[in-house]
Amino acid sequence: MYRISDQQIDYIISDIGARGVEMESLQQNLVDHVCCIIENNLEENGDFESFYQTTIQTFYKDELWEIEEETLQLLTHKNYYTMKKIMIYSGTLSVAGFIVGSIFKIMHWPGASAILLLSMVNISLIFLPLLFILKTREVNTMKDKLMVAIGTIFGILFSLSSLFKIFHWPGANLMWLIALGILMFLFIPIYFFSGIRNPETKINTIITSIILIAAVGMLFTLTSLRSSSQVYFGNTYNYLQGEELITRMQLIKNDTATQNPEIINLSKEIIENCKKIKEKIIIDGTGLKSIPDDFEKKDIILQESVPGKEFHPGESGMELIQKLKKQINSYNTLVNKNNQLPIDNSIEKMENMNSIQLSNYNLLNSLTEIQLFILQNEKGLKFN
Amino acid sequence: MIYSSELIKGTLKTIVLKLLADNKKMYGYEITQKVKDLTLNKIQITEGALYPTLHALEADGLVTTESEFIGKRVRKYYTLSPSGKNKTKEKVSELADFMETMKFLLDIKTKTV
């Protein structure tokens, strides 16, 4: 049996390293393996170097680093499955999140925004990038890789722009247009011209391109249709005009001579209460305390919706409305019949309601009207 | 007759796992020799197939390793982990089942004893 010296081991280690095996644990395995073979098969006074060279050559077909490559491939193959699993889970979660989140949103249950936000972030920052990594492995040509990359960027921008839109964050529209632009002017042309050259894929390419262009067209139409924002702007104008009217009326001198202090106080309280409720509605809809005059420029939109959680039974917004009703009733007992606040067509009418059914705009307008009625009495604009 | 590497490839994991189950801890060279002996040289595991498989088994947590220094060189012993033991049973019975199916599929008459 041959005995291998330390120098010879160094020689083997450096030779295996030079042959391109860089993973330490694999190197150790190969060194030990080749040493075992040499020790068991070489005569005590045999030629170490030539025996080593012939032995190491039996380890591979062309090059020794094939072993390392094979090892790495098996290891990444494992990652491949993990990534695929994560991708499928995150995709499923996102889809489930979209469905559950939108149901929550419609029902005004708490947590809707959080679910939608998570799903969107999940799909655009986990699912799509993973899809990209896994897909690029499956395709071979640079052109195909480019297609996958462009497709992924489009997907990410598209879902992020929807996310921004839902949360009224700035830049949503721009992102949306860029996404559509990428799809229309990059993805579709590359897809079309690469597919049409191949007779086998020609027909399919034409059909798919037409469908894609139609889809872009429809999505683009949606962009202009989204001027439901115009409707919201209009409503917001009305609201701001109402506020202005209230401010101006408050500047007119009060007709104190004809009213008792109790009524003056109650009037103040009612007007203040209305203001508070309005503020809650505005915060609920926009996240801001008040709507600035240049709301259009800043893309601040008060969407028409039913006021959220604060206006559920027992919540602070609802409590204020209940208080307002009581205030209106006591006001009406104090003032002349002619000056009573009309309750037939106001929020007062909604007795025993479980939650607010009026939209935020209706509610804002009702409150403005109440304030104006009160002010009109205060200023002594009597009906004789 | 030496079996082709295509045949070995699909069964190598099972062979390694089963050997480790029967012999507690082994190192690479030992595994190749053991297989050679047990199969009367009919199955010869190449280094190029064995080590990638061992590394993959390690990455999957089916085997654990411990290193032993022999002079200047390091010998890595492989041992089955608890999950590796379960996997071995699974793999062996799967292969046994597969062989039955192949017998049926290829219509191989079993030798009568």
Mean pLDDT, residues A246-253: 88
Contacts A36 to B, Cβ<8 Å: 29
Q: What is the DSSP string of chain B?
A: ----HHHHHHHHHHHHHHHHHHHSEEEHHHHHHHHHHHTTTS----HHHHHHHHHHHHHTTSEEEEEEEETTEEEEEEEE-HHHHHHHHHHHHHHHHHHHHHHHHTTPPPPP-
Residue with the two structure tokens 């104008």: A237
- Residues A154-205 pLDDT 10s: 999 988 888 887 776 778 888 888 999 999 999 999 889 888 888 888 889 9
Would you kindly state where each structural domain of chain B is located, as residue ranges?
5-105
Q: Which of B47, B59, B71 sits opposite A30 (nearest CB)?
A: B47
Mutate to test the interface with B, among A33, A40, A60, A69 (most CBs of B within 10 A): A33
If you measure CA to CA, which chain B residue comes closest to A81? B60
Answer whether A320's CB lies under 8 Å from A281's CB.
no
Question: 3-state DSSP helix/strand/coil percent for chain A, to nearest 5?
Answer: 75, 0, 25
Is residue A352 predicted with pLDDT exceeding 60?
no
If you measure CA to CA, which chain A residue comes closest to B59? A75
- Residues A265-282 pLDDT 10s: 888 899 999 999 899 888
Contacts A41 to B, Cβ<8 Å: none
Is residue A353 predicted with pLDDT exceeding 60?
no
d(CA B47, CA A319): 79
d(CA A78, CA B62): 13
Report CB contact under 8 Å: B51, A9.
no
How many CB pairs (< 8 A) connect A and B? 74
Phi, psi of A248, deg, nearest 5: -65, -40
Q: How far is B70 from chain A (nearest CA, A)?
A: 9
Phi, psi of A313, deg, nearest 5: -55, 135
What is the pLDDT, as a whole number, of residue B26? 95
Tell me the whole-structure pTM to 2 decimals: 0.48
Q: How far is B13 from chain A (nearest CA, A)?
A: 12
Phi, psi of A367, deg, nearest 5: -65, -45
What is the pLDDT, as a whole number, of residue A221? 81
If you measure CA to CA, which chain B residue comes closest to A13? B73
In this structure, are strands B25-27 and B73-80 parallel, antiparallel, or unpaired? antiparallel
Which range (A155-164, A353-362, B52-61, B83-92) has the least confidence? Answer: A353-362
d(CA A363, CA A356): 9
Fold type of domain B5-105: Arc Repressor Mutant, subunit A (1.10.10)
Report CB contact under 8 Å: B28, A29.
yes
Mean pLDDT, residues A224-243: 76
Structure tokens at A76: 């990444």
Provide the pLDDT confidence category of residue B50 given band limits of 50, 70 and 90. Answer: very high
What is the pLDDT, as a whole number, of residue A304? 76
Provide the pLDDT confidence category of residue A90 given band limits of 50, 70 and 90. Answer: very high
ipTM attached to this prediction:
0.90
A1 vs A38, residue with greater confidence:
A38
Structure tokens at B37: 């002996």
Contacts A60 to B, Cβ<8 Å: 47-48
Is residue A8 predicted with pLDDT exceeding 50?
yes
If you measure CA to CA, which chain B residue comes closest to A65? B48
Mean pLDDT, residues B86-99: 94
- Whole-number mean pLDDT of chain A? 84
Report CB contact under 8 Å: A59, B48.
yes
Report CB contact under 8 Å: B51, A35.
no
Mutate to test the interface with B, among A15, A57, A67, A72 (most CBs of B within 10 A): A67
Helix (H, G, I), strand (E, B) or coil at A342: coil
d(CA A260, CA A41): 119
List the strands of the sheet with B63-70, edge to edge.
Answer: B25-27, B73-80, B63-70
Q: Which of B46, B55, B67 sits opposite A75 (nearest CB)?
A: B55
Q: How far is B106 from chain A (nearest CA, A)?
A: 31
Provide the pLDDT confidence category of residue B86 given band limits of 50, 70 and 90. Answer: very high
Is residue B57 predicted with pLDDT exceeding 60?
yes
Report CB contact under 8 Å: B48, A37.
no
Query: How far does CA B2 lie from the centroid of its chain?
Result: 16
Report CB contact under 8 Å: B51, A30.
yes
Report CB contact under 8 Å: A6, B74.
no
Report CB contact under 8 Å: A26, B73.
no
Phi, psi of B69, deg, nearest 5: -85, 130
Answer whether A148's CB lies under 8 Å from A135's CB.
yes
Residues 6 or more apart whose CB falls under 8 angstroms from that of A328 comprise A270, A341, A343, A346, A348, A370
Label residues A110-130 b or e (16+ Cβ within 10 Å = b): eebeebbeebbebbbebbbeb
CA angle at residue A73 from A70 to A76, to 5 degrees? Answer: 155
Is residue A258 predicted with pLDDT exceeding 80?
no
A354 vs B73, residue with greater confidence:
B73
Q: Which of B27, B48, B71 sits opposite A6 (nearest CB)?
A: B71
CA angle at residue B60 from B56 to B65, to 5 degrees? Answer: 75
Amino acid at B55: H
